[in-house]
């Protein structure tokens, strides 16, 4: 079955022609020529009845300047046979009618639709984007066609294309994006989504392509690395922590740091890399610090312990005591003895306790007594320095008359002690109770 170029293009008329090249063993009972003014839509037809092989024709009237689309079709008990669509037009130029058949023959074909990628993994409620490519497979004589796009996704989901239609020339491609958002309560499964492209001028020509939206059972993320620097030093020690994680079915969003002393903090993550964080340790000790990560579905990784094998998300921080100065404690006047070997003298025994946070030994002390409450005032009454002391105490005598480095009766005195440790640190002056 074929449609032949129209003839007798004159007097505002054209003869439409069809041709039966083979009957298939049974002559057609109907031979029809049909036409209209838009491609694929034939609002008029003429039935020439039964016949055998060969041409059949019918003359129609034309409106100058209008393009007419036409085709031939025949029928026998085996069904319909169709000829390709053709176009015809008649115009007037300089008052003289001239005729021609416009463009080449138009042969329609289903478009090709391709969704890319063909499969993607997503989480419940997540929007995924696919690329839609539509190819116009019509012959060149059909000209540009509009293809309407129809997206499809499971019930309860939302899906749309960034444009509702594409205008594409024969043999060319058009593209757009296909957005699919799964239901927030979607269970793990493989779901099918699709886009159908339909030729707006001939709706029987269409094609659908399909893609998968895969929701996996949530797999817990993994903490893959943790760093701490420096990991040892004297207090106060400032440490910077770094870390990262992996998630096969999502991404790392939150990192939680345990500093090993009942203190913790969280930071965000980007590209599965934790935002680094700094922390100060003020107390000497050994701390086991740990990191765990949370994925975009709210699942946390397991917690590692210190000393674990790689990959290990824990770090041991050793904080030592810095070289602290010595201290003077428990200053007191231990005894007063009125019965001494010195005639008329009374002995007073001043004692104190030496303490060093680092355990450094005492190398000397300085004992001072003054009549004014100012340790740095000139001319102290008693000013004694003892090196390598075996005890922390000092005996002072009280006489009726003033003697160097000794006291007299009926006078208020103020006293202080300072000590030095092995590294040379001093406690500074510490005042004892007045007597």
Residues 33-65 as b/e (b if ≥16 CB within 10 A, e otherwise) read: bbbbeebbebeeeeebeebeeeebbbebebeee
Verify that 269 and 332 share a domain, yes or no: no
Q: Residue 400: pLDDT above 90? A: no
Q: What is the pLDDT confidence band of residue 94, given thresholds at 50, 70 and 90?
A: very low
Verify that 137 and 190 share a domain, yes or no: yes
Please give the average per-residue pLDDT across 296-302, as a whole number: 88
Check if the beta carbon of residue 388 is closer than 8 Å to that of residue 363. Answer: yes
Range of the structural domain that residue 139 is part of = 112-215
> Of residues 264 and 343, which shows the higher confidence score?
264
> Of residues 314 and 306, which shows the higher confidence score?
314
Please give the average per-residue pLDDT across 10-25, as a whole number: 83
Verify that 253 and 201 share a domain, yes or no: no
Verify that 342 and 415 share a domain, yes or no: yes
Verify that 164 and 96 share a domain, yes or no: no
Verify that 75 and 123 share a domain, yes or no: no
CA nearest to 84, candidates 104, 58, 66: 104
Q: Which pair of tokens denotes residue 27? A: 């002559």
Verify that 165 and 207 share a domain, yes or no: yes
Which residues, in sequence order, are CB contacts of 235 under 8 Å at separation 6+? 281, 282, 283, 284, 319, 320, 321, 322
Query: Would you state the pLDDT for residue 98?
Result: 42
Query: Would you state the pLDDT for residue 79?
Result: 82
Q: Residue 249: pLDDT above 80? A: no
pTM: 0.39
Residues 140-175 as b/e (b if ≥16 CB within 10 A, e otherwise) read: ebbbebebebebebeeebebebeeebbebebeeebe
Query: Would you state the pLDDT for residue 398?
Result: 83
The percent of residues above 70 in pLDDT, for the chain, comes to 91
Which of residues 161, 180, 215 is at a domain's end? 215
Q: Residue 104: pLDDT above 60? A: no
Q: Residue 50: pLDDT above 80? A: yes
> Of residues 79 and 60, which shows the higher confidence score?
60
Which of residues 47, 79, 100 is at a domain's end? 100
- Which residues, in sequence order, are bridge partners of residue 235? none
Query: Cα–Cα distance between 155 and 8 in angstroms, integer?
Result: 57
Residue 194: Cβ within 10 Å count: 17
Q: Residue 102: pLDDT above 50? A: no
Q: Which pair of tokens denotes residue 45? A: 């037809």
The reply to whether 157 falls in a domain is: yes
- What is the pairing mode between strands 314-320 and 285-295? antiparallel
CATH number, domain of 316, equals 2.60.40.10
Verify that 51 and 35 share a domain, yes or no: yes
pLDDT tens for 179-208 read 999 998 888 899 999 999 999 988 999 999
Verify that 205 and 237 share a domain, yes or no: no
**Preceding omega of 397 cis (within 30 degrees of 0):** no
Please give the average per-residue pLDDT across 264-290, as a whole number: 94
The reply to whether 64 falls in a domain is: yes
Query: Cα–Cα distance between 70 and 43 in angstroms, integer?
Result: 10
> Of residues 153 and 54, which shows the higher confidence score?
153
Query: Would you state the pLDDT for residue 411?
Result: 86
Which of residues 274, 299, 320 is at a domain's end? 320
CA nearest to 418, candidates 351, 349, 327: 327
Number of domains in the chain: 4
Query: Would you state the pLDDT for residue 62?
Result: 86
Please give the average per-residue pLDDT across 114-129, as a whole number: 93
Query: Would you state the pLDDT for residue 298?
Result: 87
Q: Which pair of tokens denotes residue 292? A: 């765990």
Verify that 190 and 159 share a domain, yes or no: yes
Please give the average per-residue pLDDT across 356-376, as a whole number: 92
Q: Round the average pLDDT of the chain to a whole number and report it.
A: 87
Q: What is the pLDDT confidence band of residue 292, given thresholds at 50, 70 and 90?
A: very high
Q: Residue 308: pLDDT above 80? A: no
Query: Cα–Cα distance between 187 and 247 in angstroms, integer?
Result: 19
The reply to whether 359 falls in a domain is: yes
- Which residues, in sequence order, are bridge partners of residue 47? 32
pLDDT tens for 158-178 read 999 999 999 999 999 999 999
> Of residues 372 and 141, which shows the higher confidence score?
372
Verify that 27 and 92 share a domain, yes or no: yes
CA nearest to 31, candidates 84, 69, 88, 71: 71
Query: Cα–Cα distance between 214 and 211 in angstroms, integer?
Result: 10
Instruction: Please work out, in degrees rounded to the nearest 5, the angle formed at the alpha carbon of residue 341 by the alpha carbons of 338 and 342.
Output: 80
Query: Would you state the pLDDT for residue 90?
Result: 74
Verify that 15 and 42 share a domain, yes or no: yes
Instruction: Please work out, in degrees rounded to the nearest 5, the angle formed at the alpha carbon of residue 422 by the alpha carbons of 421 and 426.
Output: 30
Which residues, in sequence order, are CB contacts of 245 under 8 Å at separation 6+? 221, 222, 223, 224, 252, 255, 269, 272, 274, 293, 295, 301
The reply to whether 387 falls in a domain is: yes
Query: Among the listed ranges 8-12, 314-318, 336-340, which one has the minimum average pLDDT value?
Result: 336-340
Distances in Å between the Cα of 163 and the Cα atoms of 118, 136, 152, 210, 245 are 20, 17, 14, 18, 38
Query: Cα–Cα distance between 427 and 332 in angstroms, integer?
Result: 17
The reply to whether 107 falls in a domain is: no
The reply to whether 181 falls in a domain is: yes
Give the three-state DSSP class for 140: helix
The reply to whether 106 falls in a domain is: no
Please give the average per-residue pLDDT across 385-404, as a whole number: 85
The reply to whether 243 falls in a domain is: yes
Distances in Å between the Cα of 85 and the Cα atoms of 172, 216, 315 are 20, 50, 78
Q: Residue 3: pLDDT above 70? A: no
pLDDT tens for 34-44 read 999 988 889 99
């Amino acid at each position: 079955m074929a449609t032949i170029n129209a003839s007798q293009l004159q007097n505002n008329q054209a003869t439409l022609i069809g041709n039966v090249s083979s009957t298939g063993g049974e002559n057609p009972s109907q031979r029809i020529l049909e036409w209209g003014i838009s491609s694929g839509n034939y609002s008029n037809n003429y039935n020439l009845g039964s016949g055998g092989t060969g041409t059949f024709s019918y003359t129609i009237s034309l409106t100058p300047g209008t393009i007419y689309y036409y085709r031939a079709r025949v029928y026998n008990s085996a069904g319909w046979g169709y000829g390709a669509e053709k176009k015809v037009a008649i115009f007037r130029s300089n008052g003289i009618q001239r005729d021609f058949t416009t463009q080449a023959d138009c042969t329609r074909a289903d478009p090709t639709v391709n969704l890319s990628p063909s499969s993607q993994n997503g989480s419940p409620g997540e929007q995924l984007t696919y690329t839609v490519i539509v190819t116009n497979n019509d012959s060149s004589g059909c000209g540009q066609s509009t293809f309407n796009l129809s997206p499809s996704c499971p019930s309860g989901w939302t899906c749309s294309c960034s444009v509702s239609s594409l205008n594409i020339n024969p043999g060319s491609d058009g593209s757009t994006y296909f957005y699919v958002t799964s239901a927030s309560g979607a269970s793990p499964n493989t779901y099918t989504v699709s886009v159908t492209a339909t030729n707006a001028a001939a709706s029987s020509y269409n094609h659908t392509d399909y893609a998968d939206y895969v929701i996996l059972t949530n797999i817990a993320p993994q903490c893959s690395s943790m760093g701490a620097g420096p990991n040892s030093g004297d207090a106060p020690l400032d440490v910077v922590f770094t870390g990262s994680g992996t998630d096969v079915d999502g991404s790392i969003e939150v990192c939680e740091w345990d500093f090993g002393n009942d203190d913790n903090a969280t930071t965000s993550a980007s590209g599965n890399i934790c935002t680094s964080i700094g922390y100060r340790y003020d107390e000497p000790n050994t701390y086991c610090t740990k990191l765990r990560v949370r994925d975009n579905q709210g699942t946390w990784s397991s917690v590692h312990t210190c000393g674990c094998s790689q990959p290990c998300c824990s770090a041991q921080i050793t904080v030592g005591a810095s070289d602290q100065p010595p201290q003077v404690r428990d200053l007191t006047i231990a005894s007063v003895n009125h019965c001494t070997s010195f005639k008329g003298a009374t002995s007073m025994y001043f004692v104190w306790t030496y303490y060093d946070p680092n355990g450094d030994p005492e190398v000397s002390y300085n004992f001072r007594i003054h009549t004014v409450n100012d340790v740095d005032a000139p001319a102290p009454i008693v000013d004694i320095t003892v090196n390598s002391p075996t005890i922390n105490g000092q005996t002072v005598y009280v006489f009726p008359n003033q003697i160097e480095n000794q006291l007299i009766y009926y006078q208020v005195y103020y006293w202080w002690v300072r000590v030095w440790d092995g590294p040379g640190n001093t406690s500074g002056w510490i005042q004892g109770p007045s007597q």
